[in-house]
């Protein structure tokens, strides 16, 4: 691996999205990620679906650039391998069920005693010390508990935001924590690495900052508005004459004046004292939406966007995911890259950061246990010892790379 984090090693016991997103970000920046997987199926996200050449879309998206090592952690020999890996690691990331790492002897306190240089990072659902601390947590469950679903959808019809927002943002906060501690270590930090704990619930309540602050100080819950915003008006989605959907928005009084006068040709609304401020416009949202909807229904999308751009008003086209895959803006900016997988090459989007003189890595998606033998050899296991571990069930079966060795008829059977 190359990049600003080259030389940094992260050992991860991770499942699904939150921890894999944390380590994938670090892998993109050049860190070496050793992903510990159960020989019996590995990360359960591997089997969510099979739409990517037989692989799961979630897994392919969140696990590129990693080394997969299969360990049976119920075996003392498997645990010994884990500790030998931790001896050369900079951080250990996990998002297992509550108490799982403690039962294995690799919880934060265990690591601070046995591997004090390793930064222990635990991702959980609700953090410690509260009535929900021992409860399992998944993205939807936490989004519901944190109030996020109540701010999405329509009144009386709450909805989960489409992307797994709780998982993704918790993973990003965890990666940021690791980077901050690595920087602190480089500046002469203490001998024992601090432990990090990031919970999905704490992350989501932080992201809910605006709705929670509004409710805290107003005593009211703002109602969800579908593709609108309770904070500003007018701002929403409108049907066009050619059967498409345009999203138009204003964020201040000057933009409102331009929208009313230069786009929908309603100087009467621009001059109406009832609509002078955003607070007043929110109170008359339905009236404003009706005026904009009427105008958009008489114009094609292209004309609306051209007019809005000329007036300096933000706008966009409502797209489905399949339309975004072929989005002209992504193509024009060369945002797609080839990524290798055990089932053939696929394409994936470059990570968001654009860094002068450096393109973030797009490492291969690992097969289950693909790097077990290589990684164990690097930490001192001989071929004979690896074979003995395999015979004892401490590691998974030998990985067959079908990219270099297509399966025979017998292997296929």
220 lies in a domain? no
Number of domains observed in the structure of the chain: 2
pLDDT digits (tens, 9 = 90+) for 129-147: 999 998 989 999 999 999 9
Beta strand 119-124 with 196-199 is parallel
pLDDT for residue 411: 40
152 lies in a domain? yes
Give yes or no: residues 295 and 179 share one domain: no
pLDDT digits (tens, 9 = 90+) for 73-125: 999 999 999 999 999 999 999 999 888 999 999 999 999 999 999 999 999 99
Give yes or no: residues 336 and 313 share one domain: no
pLDDT for residue 188: 66
Backbone region of residue 199 per phi and psi (left: phi > 0; alpha: psi in -120 to 50; beta: other values): beta
Q: Which residues, at least 6 apart from 395, have a Cβ–Cβ distance to it below 8 Å?
A: 39, 69, 70, 71, 72, 78, 81, 369, 372, 376, 386, 389
| Listed residues 317, 349, 383: the one ending a domain | 317
326 lies in a domain? no
Cα angle 53, 57, 60; round to 5: 85
Cα 157 to Cα 120: distance, rounded to the nearest angstrom: 40
Give yes or no: residues 303 and 346 share one domain: no
Cα 193 to Cα 109: distance, rounded to the nearest angstrom: 11
Residue ranges of the chain with pLDDT lower than 50?
405-413
Give yes or no: residues 105 and 151 share one domain: yes
Give yes or no: residues 27 and 100 share one domain: yes
Q: Which residues, at least 6 apart from 282, have a Cβ–Cβ distance to it below 8 Å?
A: 230, 231, 232, 233
Give yes or no: residues 246 and 192 share one domain: no
323 lies in a domain? no
Cis peptide before 234 (omega within 30 of 0): yes
CATH code of the domain in which 256 resides: 3.30.1540.10
Instruction: Output the six-digit token pair for 197.
Output: 């704990």
pLDDT for residue 406: 46
pTM comes to: 0.91
| Listed residues 287, 317, 347: the one ending a domain | 317
341 lies in a domain? yes
Give yes or no: residues 60 and 114 share one domain: yes
350 lies in a domain? yes
CATH code of the domain in which 91 resides: 3.40.50.10540
Beta strand 32-37 with 9-13 is parallel
Give yes or no: residues 33 and 105 share one domain: yes
Give yes or no: residues 183 and 275 share one domain: no
369 lies in a domain? yes
Cα dihedral 84, 89, 95, 100 sign: positive
Closest CA to 126 of 116, 118, 136: 136
User: What distances in angstroms separate CA 66 from CA 160, 297, 332, one per listed residue?
Assistant: 30, 50, 29
| Listed residues 258, 292, 317: the one ending a domain | 317
H helix or E strand, kind and range, residue 238: strand 235-239
Give yes or no: residues 67 and 126 share one domain: yes
pLDDT digits (tens, 9 = 90+) for 151-196: 999 999 999 999 999 999 999 999 999 999 999 887 666 678 999 9
55 lies in a domain? yes
Give yes or no: residues 69 and 128 share one domain: yes
pLDDT for residue 404: 53
Name the average pLDDT for the chain: 94
Residue span of the structural domain in which 305 resides = 235-317
Q: Residue 249: beta bridge partners?
A: 235
Give yes or no: residues 283 and 352 share one domain: no
């Amino acid at each position: 691996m190359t990049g600003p984090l080259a030389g940094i090693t992260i050992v991860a016991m991770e499942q699904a999205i939150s921890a894999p997103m944390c380590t994938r970000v670090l892998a993109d920046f050049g860190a070496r990620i050793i992903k510990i997987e159960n020989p019996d199926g590995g990360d359960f996200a591997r089997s969510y679906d099979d739409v990517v050449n037989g692989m799961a879309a979630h897994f392919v998206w969140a696990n590129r650039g990693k080394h997969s090592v299969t360990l049976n952690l119920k075996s003392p020999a498997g645990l010994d391998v884990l500790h030998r890996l931790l001896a050369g690691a900079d951080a250990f990331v996990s998002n297992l069920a509550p108490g799982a790492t403690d039962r294995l002897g690799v919880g934060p306190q265990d690591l601070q005693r046995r591997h004090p240089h390793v930064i222990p990072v635990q991702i959980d659902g609700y953090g410690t010390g509260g009535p929900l601390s021992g409860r399992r947590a998944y993205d939807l469950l936490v989004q519901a508990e944190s109030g996020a679903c109540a701010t999405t959808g329509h009144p009386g019809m709450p909805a989960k935001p489409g992307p797994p927002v709780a998982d993704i943002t918790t993973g990003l906060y965890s990666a940021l924590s690791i980077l901050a501690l690595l920087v602190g270590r480089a500046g002469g930090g203490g001998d024992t690495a601090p432990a990090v704990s990031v919970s999905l619930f704490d992350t989501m309540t932080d992201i809910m900052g605006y709705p929670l602050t509004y409710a805290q100080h107003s005593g009211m819950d703002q109602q969800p508005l579908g593709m609108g915003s309770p904070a500003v008006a007018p701002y929403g989605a409108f049907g066009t004459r050619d059967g498409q959907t345009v999203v138009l928005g204003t964020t201040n009084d000057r933009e409102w004046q331009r929208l009313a006068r230069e786009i929908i040709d309603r100087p009467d609304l621009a001059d109406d004292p009832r609509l002078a401020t955003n607070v007043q416009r929110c109170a008359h949202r339905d009236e404003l939406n009706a005026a904009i909807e009427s105008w958009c229904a008489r114009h094609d999308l292209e004309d609306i966007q051209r007019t809005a751009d000329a007036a300096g008003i933000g706008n966009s086209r409502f797209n489905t995911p399949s339309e975004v895959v072929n989005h002209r803006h992504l193509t024009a900016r060369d945002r797609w890259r080839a990524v290798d997988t055990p089932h053939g090459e696929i394409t994936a989007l470059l990570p968001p950061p654009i860094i002068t003189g450096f393109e973030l890595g797009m490492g291969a998606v690992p097969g289950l246990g693909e790097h077990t033998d290589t990684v164990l050899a690097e930490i001192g296991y001989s071929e004979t010892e690896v074979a003995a571990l395999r015979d004892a069930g401490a590691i998974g079966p030998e990985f067959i790379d079908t990219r270099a060795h297509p399966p025979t008829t017998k292997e296929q059977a």
